[in-house]
C-alpha cells in the first residue's frame, strides 16, 4: 500500500473545455501551473467541480495520464470516483492505479441511496480492489448519503481508507472524528466557507474550490493558520469569504469557472446540461468577483511556513 500525506491544500480542479466541447488541455495545463506555483499539496481530478458526471471514462483516463505526467511526482494526483454501481467503481479504481494516480476520492454510490450496510460494503469493495490510498467524500447535503461515525468505525479495518473530505457542513464533525478515532483518519475540509473554522478545530487539509481561481490566497490561509498566524490568516479569509460563498451554490462550476476566467487561468466553457451564465445572474457573480479583485490583499510571505 502506498503512503499519501493527506495534509495541505488539495484543489478540486475544474475540467477545462474548448468551445466545441473537447477537453482543453492547454488551459488546463496553465491552471495546473498556477496551482503548483502557489504551493498546493495535491491535485484532485473529476470531482464535483471537475464535472465528473458528464465526463466519459476515456476522458477521465486522459486527464489522469496528462496530470500525472505534468506534475512529475511533485504532488499526488487523486481521481474522484462517483459511480452508481460497485462494479464500475472497482473498475475505475483499478484503472486509476494502472494510470499512475496517487490516490482516490470516493463518494458513496450515486442515484440509489444506500443504507448503512450497503454503504460500508461499497467502500470496502473498492478499498479491497486497489492499493491506492482513499479519501472518503462525505457530502450528505449534495449527495444525500451521510457517512456516519458508525460507518467509519467499520472502515477502520481498511488500511488504505485514510482520510475524509468533510462536507457535512457541521464543523463539530471534525471534533467528533478526532475524539473517536484520533489520527486514524486525516480530515480535510470540503466546504470553502468553513475552511478556516475547521482548520482551527484540527482539520489536516482543505479540498478547495475557489483555489481554482485564487491559488495563492488559498494556500496562504492554510499555511498561516497552521503556523499559528491567525490574525494574518483571518484578514485574508474575511476578504475571501464573499468569493468562497460561490462554492456552495448549485452552479458552483459556472461561478468558479467565471472566477478562473477573471484571474486569467481558465475559461467559462462548461458541458451541457450546464450552461454558461448569462444576463443578470452573470453580472451579479461577476460583480462579486470584480469586487474581490479590486480589494485583493497583498499576501505575506507564506511559502516557507
CB count in 10 Å sphere of residue 198: 25
Q: How long a stretch of residues is the chain?
A: 305
Question: Would you state the pLDDT for residue 285?
Answer: 98
Show me where the domains of the chain are located: 8-229
Global pTM reads 0.98
Task: State which H helix or E strand residue 270 sits in.
Answer: none
- The CATH label, of 3.20.20.70, 3.40.50.720, 3.30.9.10, 3.20.20.20, for the domain at 8-229 is 3.20.20.70
The CA-atom distances, in angstroms, between 109 and each of 136, 142, 250 are 12, 13, 20
Question: Would you state the pLDDT for residue 3?
Answer: 77
The tens-digit pLDDT sequence of the chain (305 residues) is 567 999 999 999 999 999 999 999 999 999 999 999 999 999 999 999 999 999 999 999 999 999 999 999 999 999 999 999 999 999 999 999 999 999 999 999 999 999 999 999 999 999 999 999 999 999 988 888 999 999 999 999 999 999 999 999 999 999 999 999 999 999 999 999 999 999 999 999 999 999 999 999 999 999 999 999 999 999 999 999 999 999 999 999 999 999 999 999 999 999 999 999 999 999 999 999 999 999 999 999 999 99
CB count in 10 Å sphere of residue 123: 26
Question: Would you state the pLDDT for residue 2?
Answer: 67
Amino acid at each position: 500500500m502506498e503512503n499519501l500525506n493527506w495534509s495541505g491544500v488539495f484543489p478540486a480542479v475544474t475540467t477545462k473545455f474548448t468551445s466545441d466541447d473537447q477537453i482543453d488541455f492547454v488551459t488546463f495545463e496553465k491552471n495546473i501551473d498556477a496551482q503548483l506555483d502557489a504551493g498546493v499539496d495535491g491535485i484532485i481530478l473529476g470531482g464535483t467541480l471537475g464535472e465528473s458526471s458528464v465526463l466519459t471514462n476515456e476522458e477521465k483516463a486522459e486527464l489522469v495520464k496528462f496530470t500525472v505526467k505534468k506534475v512529475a511526482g511533485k504532488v499526488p494526483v487523486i481521481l474522484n470516483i462517483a459511480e452508481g454501481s460497485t462494479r464500475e467503481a472497482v473498475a475505475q479504481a483499478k484503472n486509476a492505479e494502472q494510470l499512475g494516480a496517487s490516490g482516490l476520492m470516493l463518494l458513496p454510490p450515486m442515484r440509489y441511496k444506500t443504507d448503512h450496510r450497503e454503504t460500508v460494503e461499497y467502500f470496502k469493495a473498492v478499498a479491497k480492489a486497489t492499493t491506492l490510498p482513499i479519501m472518503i467524500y462525505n457530502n450528505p447535503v449534495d449527495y444525500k448519503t451521510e457517512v456516519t461515525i458508525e460507518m467509519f468505525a467499520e472502515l477502520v479495518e481498511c488500511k488504505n481508507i485514510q482520510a475524509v473530505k468533510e462536507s457535512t457542513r457541521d464543523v463539530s464533525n471534525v471534533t467528533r472524528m478526532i475524539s473517536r478515532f484520533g489520527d486514524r483518519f486525516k480530515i480535510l475540509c470540503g466546504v470553502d466557507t468553513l475552511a478556516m473554522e475547521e482548520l482551527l478545530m484540527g482539520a489536516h487539509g482543505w479540498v478547495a474550490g475557489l483555489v481554482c481561481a485564487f491559488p495563492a490566497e488559498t494556500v496562504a490561509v492554510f499555511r498561516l493558520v497552521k503556523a499559528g498566524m491567525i490574525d494574518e490568516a483571518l484578514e485574508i479569509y474575511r476578504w475571501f469569504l464573499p468569493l468562497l460563498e460561490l462554492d456552495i451554490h448549485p452552479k458552483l462550476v459556472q461561478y468558479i469557472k467565471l472566477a478562473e476566467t477573471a484571474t486569467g487561468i481558465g475559461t467559462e466553457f462548461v458541458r451541457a446540461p450546464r450552461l454558461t451564465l448569462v444576463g443578470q445572474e452573470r453580472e451579479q457573480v461577476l460583480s462579486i468577483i470584480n469586487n474581490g479583485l479590486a480589494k485583493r490583499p497583498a499576501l505575506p510571505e507564506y511559502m516557507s511556513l
